[in-house]
Amino acid sequence: MRLRLVLSLLSTVASASQLVAQSETPRYEIFGGYSYSRLATSSVSQGGGTTFNGWNASVDRNINRWLGVVADVSGHSSSGSFSEGFFLTTSANLLAYRFGPKFARRGRITPFGQALVGGVRLHREGIDFPGQSGRPAEGTTNGPAITAGGGLDVRATDSFAVRVVQAEYSFHGVSDTIGQLVGNMQGVRISFGVVFCFR
């Protein structure tokens, strides 16, 4: 009799724990916010790289309490001038899309890590042969994109959270269609914004 009672209590506790875990884990999370990126290439003569400002959005499908799959899109632009070889860039735009796994430790404060792989489109405008017979030029190219890092979400309600920070290493494998080869662009991406949770 006692054994049955103990087993019944254990079953009840396990079921309650499972319900709590499910209630804390949204099926979908949609993030949107501001994004800052600092990128440099080995061919850029301007030290320290170039600053890009833009936006970042993502959709997470949580498989369980700690594992999810992320689809991430971001757009960044820069009006800062930088030169490589015989080309002076006056504006550049990056549009990237990535997918990959996300690992989280659920709670009111949720730290997470993710590694995403996808592609990027680089479009830039500038002047070819500046200081000589300079002429306006522009070009677009595509390449692979990778990010790896993590962040911190703070839950305000069951359906709303604030992403305090999302900081990642960012890599773009792009080669130029004008001027000399740009090569690989890499640096950091930092984002923050709001998260909408759907159960």
Domain coordinates of the chain in residue numbers? 27-198
pLDDT in tens, 156-174: 999 999 999 999 999 998 8
Report residue 13's pLDDT band, with 50, 70 and 90 as the boundaries. very low
pLDDT at 81 (0 to 100): 63
pTM: 0.77
Report residue 31's pLDDT band, with 50, 70 and 90 as the boundaries. very high
27-198 CATH: 2.40.160.20
Where residue 95 falls (left for φ over 0; alpha for ψ -120 to 50; beta otherwise) is beta
pLDDT at 95 (0 to 100): 97
Q: Which of 146, 136, 139, 145 is nearest to 181 (CA)?
A: 139
